[in-house]
Amino acid sequence: MFFAPWCGHCKNLKPHYEEAAKTLSTNKKIALGKVDCTVQEELCQLNKVQYYPTLVVYKNGKAEPFEAERNAKSIVVALEEELKPNVASLESNEEIEEFKKSNPIGVVGFFDNDHDDRYKLFTDLASSQKKHAKFAAVIGKDFSKDHVKATPNVVLYRKFDEPSVAHEGDFEIEALKNFVSGNVVPLVGEINRETYKKYESVAVPLAYLFLDSTQDNKDTLAFVGKIAKENKGKIVFCWVDMKKFPQQATHMGLSGEVTPALSIDDSANLKARFNFEEKSDFTAESVKQWVSDVLNNKVAPFVKSQPIPEKNDGPVKVAVGHTFKELVLDSPNDVLVEFYAPWCGHCKKLEPIYNKLGEFMKDIKSVDIVKIDADSNDVPSSLEIKGYPTIMLFKAGDKENPVQYDGQRNNHMDFAEFIHDKAAIKFELPSNTEEDDEDEGEPIVSNKKESKHDEL
Protein backbone atom coordinates (compact mmCIF):
# COMPACT_ATOMS: atom_id res chain seq x y z
CA MET A 1 0.00 0.00 0.00
CA PHE A 2 1.40 3.37 -1.05
CA PHE A 3 -0.01 6.07 1.23
CA ALA A 4 0.42 9.51 2.72
CA PRO A 5 -0.23 10.19 6.44
CA TRP A 6 -2.48 13.18 5.70
CA CYS A 7 -4.71 11.25 3.25
CA GLY A 8 -8.25 10.68 4.56
CA HIS A 9 -8.90 7.65 2.35
CA CYS A 10 -5.65 6.11 3.58
CA LYS A 11 -6.81 6.54 7.18
CA ASN A 12 -10.10 4.85 6.33
CA LEU A 13 -8.33 1.94 4.64
CA LYS A 14 -5.75 1.44 7.40
CA PRO A 15 -7.85 -0.73 9.80
CA HIS A 16 -9.04 -2.95 6.93
CA TYR A 17 -5.51 -3.34 5.63
CA GLU A 18 -4.15 -4.16 9.08
CA GLU A 19 -6.94 -6.68 9.73
CA ALA A 20 -6.19 -8.39 6.40
CA ALA A 21 -2.49 -8.49 7.29
CA LYS A 22 -3.30 -10.09 10.63
CA THR A 23 -5.56 -12.71 9.01
CA LEU A 24 -2.88 -13.60 6.46
CA SER A 25 0.06 -13.47 8.89
CA THR A 26 0.33 -17.29 9.05
CA ASN A 27 0.43 -17.63 5.27
CA LYS A 28 4.11 -17.62 4.35
CA LYS A 29 3.35 -17.08 0.67
CA ILE A 30 1.60 -13.74 1.19
CA ALA A 31 3.08 -10.55 2.61
CA LEU A 32 1.47 -7.14 3.04
CA GLY A 33 3.61 -4.04 3.15
CA LYS A 34 3.18 -0.29 3.10
CA VAL A 35 5.19 2.67 1.84
CA ASP A 36 4.90 6.22 3.19
CA CYS A 37 5.26 8.34 0.05
CA THR A 38 6.06 11.47 2.05
CA VAL A 39 9.22 9.68 3.20
CA GLN A 40 10.02 7.34 0.31
CA GLU A 41 9.35 9.82 -2.50
CA GLU A 42 11.81 8.26 -4.95
CA LEU A 43 10.37 4.77 -4.46
CA CYS A 44 6.84 6.06 -5.06
CA GLN A 45 7.92 7.90 -8.19
CA LEU A 46 9.62 4.74 -9.44
CA ASN A 47 6.32 2.89 -9.00
CA LYS A 48 4.40 5.72 -10.71
CA VAL A 49 2.15 6.41 -7.73
CA GLN A 50 -0.19 9.27 -8.64
CA TYR A 51 -2.88 9.09 -5.96
CA TYR A 52 -3.36 7.77 -2.46
CA PRO A 53 -3.87 5.12 -1.39
CA THR A 54 -2.52 3.04 -4.27
CA LEU A 55 -2.63 -0.74 -3.83
CA VAL A 56 -0.36 -2.86 -6.01
CA VAL A 57 0.04 -6.64 -6.11
CA TYR A 58 3.55 -7.86 -6.96
CA LYS A 59 3.68 -11.42 -8.25
CA ASN A 60 6.44 -13.21 -10.17
CA GLY A 61 8.24 -9.92 -10.71
CA LYS A 62 5.20 -8.22 -12.22
CA ALA A 63 3.13 -5.40 -10.73
CA GLU A 64 -0.65 -5.25 -11.14
CA PRO A 65 -3.11 -2.77 -9.63
CA PHE A 66 -5.29 -4.22 -6.87
CA GLU A 67 -8.86 -3.95 -8.15
CA ALA A 68 -10.97 -5.81 -5.59
CA GLU A 69 -13.04 -4.02 -2.96
CA ARG A 70 -11.01 -2.32 -0.25
CA ASN A 71 -12.19 -4.06 2.88
CA ALA A 72 -10.44 -6.71 4.97
CA LYS A 73 -12.45 -9.67 3.69
CA SER A 74 -12.07 -8.74 0.02
CA ILE A 75 -8.34 -8.13 0.40
CA VAL A 76 -7.88 -11.56 2.01
CA VAL A 77 -9.97 -13.36 -0.61
CA ALA A 78 -8.27 -11.58 -3.51
CA LEU A 79 -4.75 -12.33 -2.27
CA GLU A 80 -5.54 -15.97 -1.50
CA GLU A 81 -6.97 -16.23 -5.01
CA GLU A 82 -3.60 -15.06 -6.35
CA LEU A 83 -2.01 -18.27 -5.02
CA LYS A 84 -4.26 -20.47 -7.11
CA PRO A 85 -3.12 -21.43 -10.63
CA ASN A 86 -4.48 -19.11 -13.30
CA VAL A 87 -5.41 -22.11 -15.43
CA ALA A 88 -7.18 -25.14 -13.95
CA SER A 89 -6.82 -28.58 -15.56
CA LEU A 90 -9.96 -30.39 -16.77
CA GLU A 91 -9.75 -34.14 -17.26
CA SER A 92 -13.22 -35.13 -18.46
CA ASN A 93 -16.44 -33.93 -20.03
CA GLU A 94 -18.00 -34.07 -16.57
CA GLU A 95 -15.38 -31.66 -15.24
CA ILE A 96 -16.06 -29.30 -18.14
CA GLU A 97 -19.77 -29.33 -17.27
CA GLU A 98 -19.01 -28.65 -13.61
CA PHE A 99 -16.64 -25.81 -14.60
CA LYS A 100 -19.38 -24.26 -16.74
CA LYS A 101 -21.94 -24.49 -13.93
CA SER A 102 -19.61 -23.08 -11.28
CA ASN A 103 -18.46 -19.98 -13.16
CA PRO A 104 -20.60 -17.19 -14.68
CA ILE A 105 -17.86 -16.71 -17.28
CA GLY A 106 -15.53 -19.61 -18.04
CA VAL A 107 -12.84 -19.82 -20.72
CA VAL A 108 -11.46 -23.22 -21.73
CA GLY A 109 -8.45 -23.78 -23.96
CA PHE A 110 -8.12 -27.07 -25.84
CA PHE A 111 -4.54 -28.15 -26.63
CA ASP A 112 -2.61 -31.19 -27.84
CA ASN A 113 0.14 -30.62 -25.27
CA ASP A 114 1.33 -28.11 -22.67
CA HIS A 115 4.70 -27.30 -24.25
CA ASP A 116 3.17 -25.64 -27.30
CA ASP A 117 3.94 -21.90 -27.46
CA ARG A 118 0.22 -21.31 -27.83
CA TYR A 119 -0.46 -22.91 -24.47
CA LYS A 120 2.03 -20.49 -22.90
CA LEU A 121 0.17 -17.67 -24.67
CA PHE A 122 -3.09 -18.98 -23.17
CA THR A 123 -1.63 -18.89 -19.66
CA ASP A 124 -0.55 -15.28 -20.29
CA LEU A 125 -4.10 -14.53 -21.40
CA ALA A 126 -5.47 -16.07 -18.20
CA SER A 127 -3.11 -13.98 -16.10
CA SER A 128 -4.19 -10.73 -17.76
CA GLN A 129 -7.93 -11.51 -17.86
CA LYS A 130 -8.44 -13.43 -14.60
CA LYS A 131 -10.55 -10.68 -13.02
CA HIS A 132 -13.12 -11.08 -15.80
CA ALA A 133 -13.32 -14.87 -16.18
CA LYS A 134 -12.12 -18.21 -14.84
CA PHE A 135 -9.73 -20.15 -17.06
CA ALA A 136 -9.14 -23.86 -17.57
CA ALA A 137 -7.41 -26.10 -20.10
CA VAL A 138 -7.97 -29.53 -21.63
CA ILE A 139 -4.63 -30.99 -22.71
CA GLY A 140 -4.17 -34.00 -24.97
CA LYS A 141 -7.65 -35.46 -24.44
CA ASP A 142 -9.70 -37.26 -27.09
CA PHE A 143 -12.91 -35.67 -25.85
CA SER A 144 -11.66 -32.26 -27.05
CA LYS A 145 -13.30 -33.09 -30.38
CA ASP A 146 -16.67 -32.92 -28.62
CA HIS A 147 -16.12 -29.18 -28.08
CA VAL A 148 -13.87 -27.83 -30.86
CA LYS A 149 -13.30 -28.69 -34.51
CA ALA A 150 -9.53 -28.50 -34.16
CA THR A 151 -6.87 -27.81 -31.55
CA PRO A 152 -5.65 -25.49 -30.28
CA ASN A 153 -8.73 -23.38 -29.77
CA VAL A 154 -10.51 -21.44 -27.06
CA VAL A 155 -14.18 -21.54 -26.07
CA LEU A 156 -15.90 -19.04 -23.78
CA TYR A 157 -18.88 -20.29 -21.76
CA ARG A 158 -21.44 -17.89 -20.27
CA LYS A 159 -24.98 -17.74 -18.92
CA PHE A 160 -26.46 -15.24 -21.41
CA ASP A 161 -26.91 -14.84 -25.18
CA GLU A 162 -25.15 -17.76 -26.90
CA PRO A 163 -24.03 -20.03 -24.02
CA SER A 164 -20.78 -20.96 -25.76
CA VAL A 165 -18.66 -18.95 -28.18
CA ALA A 166 -15.60 -20.34 -29.96
CA HIS A 167 -12.67 -18.10 -30.88
CA GLU A 168 -12.40 -17.77 -34.65
CA GLY A 169 -9.56 -15.28 -35.07
CA ASP A 170 -5.79 -15.50 -34.98
CA PHE A 171 -4.27 -17.30 -31.99
CA GLU A 172 -2.49 -14.14 -30.83
CA ILE A 173 -2.62 -12.42 -27.46
CA GLU A 174 -4.38 -9.22 -28.57
CA ALA A 175 -6.95 -11.12 -30.63
CA LEU A 176 -7.65 -13.42 -27.69
CA LYS A 177 -7.95 -10.49 -25.26
CA ASN A 178 -10.47 -8.84 -27.58
CA PHE A 179 -12.33 -12.14 -27.85
CA VAL A 180 -12.63 -12.48 -24.07
CA SER A 181 -13.42 -8.83 -23.28
CA GLY A 182 -15.96 -8.66 -26.10
CA ASN A 183 -17.86 -11.74 -24.90
CA VAL A 184 -17.94 -11.32 -21.11
CA VAL A 185 -20.82 -8.88 -21.57
CA PRO A 186 -24.20 -9.40 -23.32
CA LEU A 187 -24.81 -8.28 -26.89
CA VAL A 188 -26.58 -5.14 -25.60
CA GLY A 189 -26.37 -5.36 -21.82
CA GLU A 190 -27.29 -2.74 -19.24
CA ILE A 191 -24.37 -0.83 -17.80
CA ASN A 192 -24.81 0.35 -14.22
CA ARG A 193 -22.91 0.52 -10.93
CA GLU A 194 -22.87 -3.28 -10.70
CA THR A 195 -21.70 -4.00 -14.26
CA TYR A 196 -19.51 -1.08 -15.35
CA LYS A 197 -16.28 -2.80 -14.25
CA LYS A 198 -16.80 -5.47 -16.92
CA TYR A 199 -17.17 -2.82 -19.59
CA GLU A 200 -13.99 -1.06 -18.47
CA SER A 201 -11.97 -4.02 -19.78
CA VAL A 202 -13.37 -3.80 -23.30
CA ALA A 203 -10.53 -3.17 -25.74
CA VAL A 204 -12.73 -2.16 -28.69
CA PRO A 205 -14.99 0.91 -29.04
CA LEU A 206 -17.87 0.97 -26.54
CA ALA A 207 -21.27 2.20 -27.73
CA TYR A 208 -23.61 3.69 -25.12
CA LEU A 209 -27.30 3.47 -26.02
CA PHE A 210 -29.25 5.88 -23.80
CA LEU A 211 -32.85 4.85 -23.17
CA ASP A 212 -35.77 6.02 -21.05
CA SER A 213 -36.55 2.95 -18.92
CA THR A 214 -40.16 4.09 -18.45
CA GLN A 215 -40.80 3.71 -22.20
CA ASP A 216 -41.16 0.60 -24.39
CA ASN A 217 -37.69 0.10 -25.89
CA LYS A 218 -38.24 -3.38 -27.33
CA ASP A 219 -37.99 -2.35 -31.01
CA THR A 220 -34.95 -0.14 -30.42
CA LEU A 221 -33.10 -2.87 -28.52
CA ALA A 222 -34.00 -5.36 -31.25
CA PHE A 223 -32.49 -3.43 -34.16
CA VAL A 224 -29.51 -2.21 -32.14
CA GLY A 225 -28.93 -5.84 -31.15
CA LYS A 226 -28.75 -6.79 -34.83
CA ILE A 227 -26.24 -4.01 -35.47
CA ALA A 228 -24.22 -5.17 -32.46
CA LYS A 229 -24.18 -8.74 -33.78
CA GLU A 230 -23.10 -7.61 -37.26
CA ASN A 231 -20.19 -5.68 -35.74
CA LYS A 232 -19.19 -8.23 -33.09
CA GLY A 233 -15.48 -8.02 -32.39
CA LYS A 234 -15.32 -4.45 -33.70
CA ILE A 235 -17.54 -2.70 -31.15
CA VAL A 236 -19.40 -3.54 -27.92
CA PHE A 237 -22.87 -2.12 -27.19
CA CYS A 238 -24.47 -1.40 -23.83
CA TRP A 239 -27.54 0.54 -22.78
CA VAL A 240 -27.84 3.19 -20.06
CA ASP A 241 -30.96 4.21 -18.17
CA MET A 242 -31.15 7.95 -18.87
CA LYS A 243 -33.52 8.39 -15.90
CA LYS A 244 -30.82 7.15 -13.52
CA PHE A 245 -27.64 8.35 -15.20
CA PRO A 246 -28.26 11.53 -17.25
CA GLN A 247 -24.80 12.73 -16.22
CA GLN A 248 -23.24 9.94 -18.30
CA ALA A 249 -24.93 11.35 -21.39
CA THR A 250 -23.77 14.90 -20.70
CA HIS A 251 -20.27 13.58 -19.97
CA MET A 252 -20.27 12.07 -23.45
CA GLY A 253 -21.30 15.41 -24.93
CA LEU A 254 -25.02 14.70 -25.38
CA SER A 255 -27.83 16.89 -24.04
CA GLY A 256 -29.03 14.28 -21.55
CA GLU A 257 -32.61 15.07 -22.56
CA VAL A 258 -33.11 13.05 -25.76
CA THR A 259 -33.80 9.31 -25.96
CA PRO A 260 -32.91 7.11 -27.65
CA ALA A 261 -29.42 8.54 -28.03
CA LEU A 262 -26.15 6.92 -29.00
CA SER A 263 -22.53 7.72 -28.24
CA ILE A 264 -19.40 5.72 -29.03
CA ASP A 265 -16.37 5.92 -26.76
CA ASP A 266 -13.23 4.86 -28.60
CA SER A 267 -10.77 6.06 -25.96
CA ALA A 268 -9.16 2.59 -25.90
CA ASN A 269 -7.79 3.46 -29.35
CA LEU A 270 -7.20 7.13 -28.50
CA LYS A 271 -9.90 8.35 -30.90
CA ALA A 272 -12.16 9.97 -28.31
CA ARG A 273 -15.98 10.08 -28.52
CA PHE A 274 -18.53 10.14 -31.32
CA ASN A 275 -22.15 11.23 -30.94
CA PHE A 276 -25.10 10.34 -33.14
CA GLU A 277 -26.83 13.63 -34.03
CA GLU A 278 -29.71 13.98 -31.57
CA LYS A 279 -31.86 15.81 -34.13
CA SER A 280 -31.57 12.95 -36.65
CA ASP A 281 -34.14 10.16 -36.98
CA PHE A 282 -33.08 7.22 -34.82
CA THR A 283 -33.83 4.37 -37.24
CA ALA A 284 -32.22 1.01 -37.91
CA GLU A 285 -30.88 2.26 -41.25
CA SER A 286 -29.49 5.57 -39.98
CA VAL A 287 -27.86 4.03 -36.90
CA LYS A 288 -26.36 1.16 -38.90
CA GLN A 289 -24.83 3.59 -41.41
CA TRP A 290 -23.53 5.90 -38.67
CA VAL A 291 -21.86 3.04 -36.77
CA SER A 292 -20.21 1.92 -40.01
CA ASP A 293 -18.99 5.46 -40.68
CA VAL A 294 -17.51 5.73 -37.18
CA LEU A 295 -15.66 2.44 -37.55
CA ASN A 296 -14.33 3.56 -40.94
CA ASN A 297 -13.08 6.93 -39.60
CA LYS A 298 -15.65 8.95 -41.53
CA VAL A 299 -17.07 10.78 -38.49
CA ALA A 300 -15.32 13.62 -36.68
CA PRO A 301 -14.90 12.96 -32.94
CA PHE A 302 -16.69 15.09 -30.38
CA VAL A 303 -14.36 17.34 -28.38
CA LYS A 304 -15.55 19.01 -25.19
CA SER A 305 -14.12 22.50 -25.24
CA GLN A 306 -14.57 25.93 -23.74
CA PRO A 307 -14.57 28.83 -26.20
CA ILE A 308 -11.16 29.68 -27.67
CA PRO A 309 -9.84 32.78 -25.84
CA GLU A 310 -9.95 35.92 -27.98
CA LYS A 311 -6.63 37.04 -26.50
CA ASN A 312 -3.97 34.57 -25.44
CA ASP A 313 -0.71 36.48 -25.36
CA GLY A 314 -0.01 36.38 -21.61
CA PRO A 315 2.99 34.63 -20.04
CA VAL A 316 0.75 31.64 -19.24
CA LYS A 317 -1.14 30.55 -22.33
CA VAL A 318 -4.64 29.11 -21.93
CA ALA A 319 -5.41 25.93 -23.86
CA VAL A 320 -8.92 24.56 -24.42
CA GLY A 321 -10.13 21.32 -25.97
CA HIS A 322 -10.00 22.71 -29.51
CA THR A 323 -6.51 24.22 -29.13
CA PHE A 324 -4.62 21.68 -27.00
CA LYS A 325 -3.15 20.00 -30.08
CA GLU A 326 -2.05 23.31 -31.59
CA LEU A 327 -0.57 24.83 -28.42
CA VAL A 328 0.98 21.69 -26.97
CA LEU A 329 1.30 18.69 -29.27
CA ASP A 330 2.08 20.57 -32.49
CA SER A 331 4.26 23.22 -30.86
CA PRO A 332 7.98 23.03 -31.77
CA ASN A 333 8.79 24.17 -28.23
CA ASP A 334 9.12 22.44 -24.88
CA VAL A 335 5.71 22.99 -23.25
CA LEU A 336 4.90 22.79 -19.53
CA VAL A 337 1.19 22.17 -18.98
CA GLU A 338 -0.85 22.45 -15.79
CA PHE A 339 -4.03 20.36 -15.87
CA TYR A 340 -6.32 21.92 -13.28
CA ALA A 341 -9.94 22.20 -12.16
CA PRO A 342 -11.49 25.50 -11.06
CA TRP A 343 -12.99 23.91 -7.90
CA CYS A 344 -9.67 22.39 -6.79
CA GLY A 345 -8.22 24.09 -3.70
CA HIS A 346 -4.65 22.97 -4.44
CA CYS A 347 -4.94 24.46 -7.94
CA LYS A 348 -6.05 27.80 -6.50
CA LYS A 349 -3.04 27.81 -4.17
CA LEU A 350 -0.72 27.02 -7.06
CA GLU A 351 -2.08 29.73 -9.37
CA PRO A 352 0.08 32.68 -8.21
CA ILE A 353 3.20 30.49 -8.24
CA TYR A 354 2.43 29.23 -11.75
CA ASN A 355 1.76 32.77 -12.97
CA LYS A 356 5.10 33.86 -11.52
CA LEU A 357 6.73 30.99 -13.41
CA GLY A 358 5.19 32.29 -16.63
CA GLU A 359 6.60 35.78 -15.98
CA PHE A 360 9.99 34.32 -15.09
CA MET A 361 10.18 32.20 -18.27
CA LYS A 362 8.52 34.60 -20.74
CA ASP A 363 11.77 35.55 -22.49
CA ILE A 364 12.79 31.92 -23.10
CA LYS A 365 11.50 31.52 -26.65
CA SER A 366 11.89 27.73 -26.70
CA VAL A 367 9.60 27.20 -23.70
CA ASP A 368 5.85 27.74 -23.37
CA ILE A 369 3.94 27.74 -20.08
CA VAL A 370 0.37 26.52 -20.58
CA LYS A 371 -2.64 25.68 -18.44
CA ILE A 372 -5.92 23.92 -19.25
CA ASP A 373 -9.11 23.42 -17.26
CA ALA A 374 -9.22 19.62 -17.64
CA ASP A 375 -12.63 19.49 -15.98
CA SER A 376 -14.23 21.56 -18.75
CA ASN A 377 -12.10 20.51 -21.72
CA ASP A 378 -11.14 17.19 -23.27
CA VAL A 379 -7.49 16.24 -23.28
CA PRO A 380 -5.98 13.23 -25.10
CA SER A 381 -7.16 10.03 -23.43
CA SER A 382 -3.59 8.71 -23.51
CA LEU A 383 -2.77 11.14 -20.68
CA GLU A 384 -3.37 9.77 -17.19
CA ILE A 385 -4.77 12.74 -15.29
CA LYS A 386 -5.63 11.13 -11.96
CA GLY A 387 -5.49 14.18 -9.74
CA TYR A 388 -5.46 17.97 -9.81
CA PRO A 389 -3.25 19.72 -10.39
CA THR A 390 -1.21 17.48 -12.68
CA ILE A 391 1.79 19.09 -14.33
CA MET A 392 3.59 17.62 -17.34
CA LEU A 393 6.44 18.70 -19.61
CA PHE A 394 5.85 17.92 -23.28
CA LYS A 395 9.35 17.87 -24.71
CA ALA A 396 10.13 19.24 -28.14
CA GLY A 397 10.30 16.40 -30.65
CA ASP A 398 8.83 13.85 -28.20
CA LYS A 399 5.32 14.99 -27.35
CA GLU A 400 4.06 11.40 -27.01
CA ASN A 401 6.08 10.83 -23.83
CA PRO A 402 5.41 13.74 -21.44
CA VAL A 403 7.43 13.91 -18.23
CA GLN A 404 5.29 14.32 -15.13
CA TYR A 405 6.43 16.81 -12.50
CA ASP A 406 6.47 15.24 -9.04
CA GLY A 407 8.57 17.75 -7.12
CA GLN A 408 7.81 20.51 -4.63
CA ARG A 409 5.37 23.29 -5.50
CA ASN A 410 6.49 25.92 -3.06
CA ASN A 411 8.42 28.13 -5.46
CA HIS A 412 8.32 28.99 -9.15
CA MET A 413 12.01 28.09 -9.31
CA ASP A 414 11.14 24.45 -8.57
CA PHE A 415 9.36 24.34 -11.92
CA ALA A 416 11.94 26.44 -13.75
CA GLU A 417 14.76 24.10 -12.71
CA PHE A 418 12.67 21.07 -13.70
CA ILE A 419 12.13 22.54 -17.18
CA HIS A 420 15.83 23.44 -17.43
CA ASP A 421 16.87 19.89 -16.54
CA LYS A 422 14.36 18.04 -18.73
CA ALA A 423 13.83 20.29 -21.77
CA ALA A 424 14.91 18.99 -25.17
CA ILE A 425 15.98 22.47 -26.26
CA LYS A 426 18.70 23.68 -23.91
CA PHE A 427 18.62 27.24 -22.57
CA GLU A 428 20.14 29.35 -19.83
CA LEU A 429 17.99 30.07 -16.79
CA PRO A 430 17.39 33.75 -16.05
CA SER A 431 18.71 34.98 -12.72
CA ASN A 432 16.17 34.85 -9.91
CA THR A 433 16.00 38.22 -8.18
CA GLU A 434 12.62 37.80 -6.46
CA GLU A 435 11.91 36.58 -2.96
CA ASP A 436 10.78 33.01 -2.40
CA ASP A 437 7.12 32.26 -2.97
CA GLU A 438 4.93 31.36 -0.04
CA ASP A 439 4.88 27.73 0.98
CA GLU A 440 1.58 26.81 -0.61
CA GLY A 441 2.36 23.58 -2.42
CA GLU A 442 0.68 20.35 -1.44
CA PRO A 443 0.71 16.86 -2.91
CA ILE A 444 -1.57 16.01 -5.80
CA VAL A 445 -5.06 15.02 -4.76
CA SER A 446 -8.50 15.91 -5.95
CA ASN A 447 -10.80 17.35 -3.33
CA LYS A 448 -14.07 16.85 -5.18
CA LYS A 449 -15.75 13.62 -4.16
CA GLU A 450 -17.84 13.34 -7.31
CA SER A 451 -14.84 13.62 -9.60
CA LYS A 452 -13.36 10.66 -11.39
CA HIS A 453 -10.01 12.13 -10.37
CA ASP A 454 -10.70 11.79 -6.66
CA GLU A 455 -8.52 9.73 -4.37
CA LEU A 456 -9.42 6.10 -4.85
Catalytic site includes residue 44: no
Question: What residue ranges in 179-311 does DSSP mark as E strands?
Answer: 188-190, 206-211, 236-241, 261-265, 273-275
Catalytic site includes residue 37: no
Identity of the residue numbered 448:
K
What's the Cα-to-Cα distance from 369 to each of 236, 317, 322, 337, 352, rounded to whole Å?
40, 6, 18, 6, 13
CA 384, CA 54: separation in Å to the nearest integer?
15
CA 102, CA 456: separation in Å to the nearest integer?
32
CA 206, CA 235: separation in Å to the nearest integer?
6
Residues 6+ apart with CB under 8 A from 388: 339, 340, 341, 344, 346, 347, 374, 375, 444, 446, 453
Selecting among 7, 37, 44, 238, the annotated active-site residue is 7
Write the DSSP string, 264-295.
EE-GGGT--EEE--TTS---HHHHHHHHHHHH
Question: What residue ranges in 396-456 does DSSP mark as E strands?
Answer: 398-404
Selecting among 37, 44, 238, 344, the annotated active-site residue is 344
User: 174 near 181, Cβ under 8 Å?
Assistant: no
Question: Residue 205, preceding bond cis, omega within 30 degrees?
Answer: no
Catalytic site includes residue 238: no
Report the catalytic residues: 7, 10, 344, 347
